[in-house]
Structure 1
Amino acid sequence: MTLDPHVEGMLKALAAYAAPDFSTMTATGYRAGIAGRDGLLGPGDTVARSEDREIAGPGGPLKLRLYYPDVPGPLPLTLFFHGGGFVACGLDTHDNICRCLAVRAQTLVVSVDYRLAPEAPFPAAVHDAMAALEWLRAHAGEIGGDAQRIALAGDSAGGNLAAVLAQQARARGWSLQHQLLMYPVTDLAEESASYAACGQGYFLTAEGLRWFRAQYLSGGGDATDPRASPLRAKDFGGLAPATIVTAEYDPLRDEGEAYALSLRLAGVPAVLQRWPGQIHGFISMLGPIPAADAALDFAAAELRRAFGSQAR
């Protein structure tokens, strides 16, 4: 396959910004450098309403944003974790994805503003993710949701947290409907072949990934710990069924596909879709990249199928 021409245009637009120098980059500098770029992107679908909440978290108040579709409840619940290399982004940067999933999958999406590294290194984000899931299970009825129909979702670093949380939920005996992992980070301990093949010139770079990893594990975390690298888990049996979306020109492509294979070998239903001609993060790029809209349709259909519902 060849690079999507819309992606080529997006890469040219991004080239107008100075390339980060990861040899001297600080987290504060990185966040400042990407601030405002989400303004290039489409706003996503119109939800019936959204609301921000705060719950008690292990590191202090934990912010959530709830997205309601215009359908009667009780609603299936999708707990969403944003990407950003464990270092950047938040509720606003991934607002468009959450809106589209809420409307198209007819699910109440709960987006989590987990703590970021290096100020709060691994495993702080994992602890926040678990706190959000615990709260959702306990308060589903209060917010109009169905505690028996909970899915986890996330992109990139958020896909990592969703996969880790699915493993931890299994250990607690909690049933989940699905895990939707969009170009997830699954292995911080080893670089796959796609690092070399796609690690330069396609938005996300191998150098950047190494920097993100160093920030996340700056508290002394072990890259082989399955809470950091879910691909390193010893047992994949009994995990929630999964949908995994990868991008052809993404250095994270191979580890996401390896995770899908590990699930399948353990007997876990796992749908794998490699999106041709695309780069890491393309699903956020509504507007400039038409494939983002198609990928969100696909992801939403997978969630609806998992929840056992059809569009009304």
Structure 2
Amino acid sequence: MPLHPEIAADLAAAAARGEPPLKDLSAQVARARAEAEPRVAGAPVKAVETVSIPVGGSTIVARVYRPFGEDDVLPGIVYIHGGGWVLCSLDTHDNVCRNLCASVGAVVVSIDYRMAPEHRFPVASDDCLAAVRWVAGHAGSLGIDPAKLIVGGDSAGGNLAAVTTLRIRDEGGPALSGQMLIYPVTDDIAAGHPSYAEFADGFGLTADDMAWFWDHYVPNPAERAHPHASPLRAESLAGLPPALLLTAGCDVLRDEGEAYAGRLAAAGVTLDFRRYEGLNHGCAGDYGRLRAVTPFFEHLVTWARAIFRL
């Protein structure tokens, strides 16, 4: 199915700007460009605060969003932003987190994990695991019900969310209510999934972009098959929490995401999966700006509210 007309017009406008591709940029210049991109504002929320989380011998920060309402204890979503393990930040995904917070009625904790190339694999994974454990351990002070906790993320953040659930299963606690995987990276780029060729260029995220990301995050190709880098390579997916996995029909990552969904279902994991035809990678951030994205984002909300029994 072709791109939705709204998405196609958006991509045409971006192409007209003639910006150089990621492969021609340093990580620092690419980050500055990503931060400068205009974004639609997210929904109003009751409160936003910044907290520090210890990770090994260092600390990272997280942004905590609380929705309007009088409830002292609410469900929680630990959100891990995308950006190829190299780009983006709490600010670039502020709108997504605000919209989830307001629409689901949950406390959202957005994680500012350390990124490549300064911090290569597996630092981001270690940070996210530590952050989820910290949130669960401080649920009371955060106003979160520890029995209602989801970990989620988009793209590379979806990768880290999937890996975090695997590590929690294998390395012990905390209990999770679900995992929200939004067009996630699940496999080594060398696997050759057909969507890499089908959508290699002209659809936003390119095959060259993904090669650039992998080269920054896991420069040693031998390490890319590790299940903490490529969760599709995990020996078993049994025993994982219920999953939502959404893919975009015109996305280089589509096929590996759908392969992961197939393995989750085969392993007996409760799964809500759907491909949204006509959409492209990164569409969740366009909720509120492009009407084509509304059903995609509302699916996230409906699933989370069902998991939380709201």
CA distance in 1, matches of 2:19, 2:57: 33
CA distance in 2, matches of 1:129, 1:148: 19
Q: Tell me the TM-score normalized by structure 2.
A: 0.95
CA distance in 1, matches of 2:33, 2:73: 41
What amino acid is aligned across from residue 43 of structure 1 in structure 2?
A
CA distance in 2, matches of 1:286, 1:237: 33
Deviations 1:151-171 (A, max 9, x none): 011000000000000111111
CA distance in 2, matches of 1:49, 1:180: 23
Contact 2:47 2:67 in 1 (8 A): yes
Q: Which runs of 4+ in 1 moved over 6 A?
A: none
CA distance in 2, matches of 1:17, 1:129: 35
Q: Tell me the TM-score normalized by structure 1.
A: 0.94
Indicate the residue corresponding to 1:291 in structure 2.
292
Give the C-alpha shift of residue 110 in structure 1.
0.3
Q: Out of 251-260 and 25-34, give the one that drifted further.
A: 25-34
Using the aligned pairs only, state the percent identity. 40
Gap change, CA 1:301 and 1:127, over 3 Å in 2: same
Indicate the residue corresponding to 1:176 in structure 2.
176
CA distance in 2, matches of 1:77, 1:161: 17
Gap change, CA 1:231 and 1:220, over 3 Å in 2: closer
Indicate the residue corresponding to 1:76 in structure 2.
75
SS state at 2:10 partner: helix
Q: Does 1:226 align with 2:227?
A: yes
Structure 1 unmatched runs, 5+: none
Contact 2:95 2:285 in 1 (8 A): yes
Give the C-alpha shift of residue 62 in structure 1.
0.6
Indicate the residue corresponding to 2:105 in structure 1.
106
Task: Let me know the Cα RMSD of the aligned residues.
Answer: 1.5
CA distance in 1, matches of 2:54, 2:27: 25
Q: Does 1:200 align with 2:198?
A: no
CA distance in 2, matches of 1:30, 1:20: 10
Give the C-alpha shift of residue 142 in structure 1.
0.8
Contact 1:20 1:30 in 2 (8 A): no
What amino acid is aligned across from residue 151 of structure 2 in structure 1?
L
Give the C-alpha shift of residue 59 in structure 1.
5.6
CA distance in 2, matches of 1:52, 1:18: 36
Give the C-alpha shift of residue 221 in structure 1.
6.6
CA distance in 1, matches of 2:23, 2:125: 27
Indicate the residue corresponding to 2:42 in structure 1.
44
Contact 2:187 2:231 in 1 (8 A): yes
Indicate the residue corresponding to 2:27 in structure 1.
27
Give the C-alpha shift of residue 233 in structure 1.
0.3
Q: Out of 45-54 and 167-176, give the one that drifted further.
A: 167-176
Deviations 1:208-267 (A, max 9, x none): 101101100137770000000011000111101100110010000001111110000000
CA distance in 1, matches of 2:269, 2:129: 22
Give the C-alpha shift of residue 289 in structure 1.
1.7
Indicate the residue corresponding to 1:11 in structure 2.
11
Contact 1:149 1:176 in 2 (8 A): yes
Indicate the residue corresponding to 1:118 in structure 2.
117
Structure 2 unmatched runs, 5+: none
Give the C-alpha shift of residue 57 in structure 1.
1.9
Give the C-alpha shift of residue 276 in structure 1.
1.4
Deviations 1:25-47 (A, max 9, x none): 3211211233311x2x3212111
Deviations 1:127-177 (A, max 9, x none): 110110111111000111111111011000000000000111111153211
What amino acid is aligned across from residue 131 of structure 1 in structure 2?
A
CA distance in 2, matches of 1:18, 1:120: 30
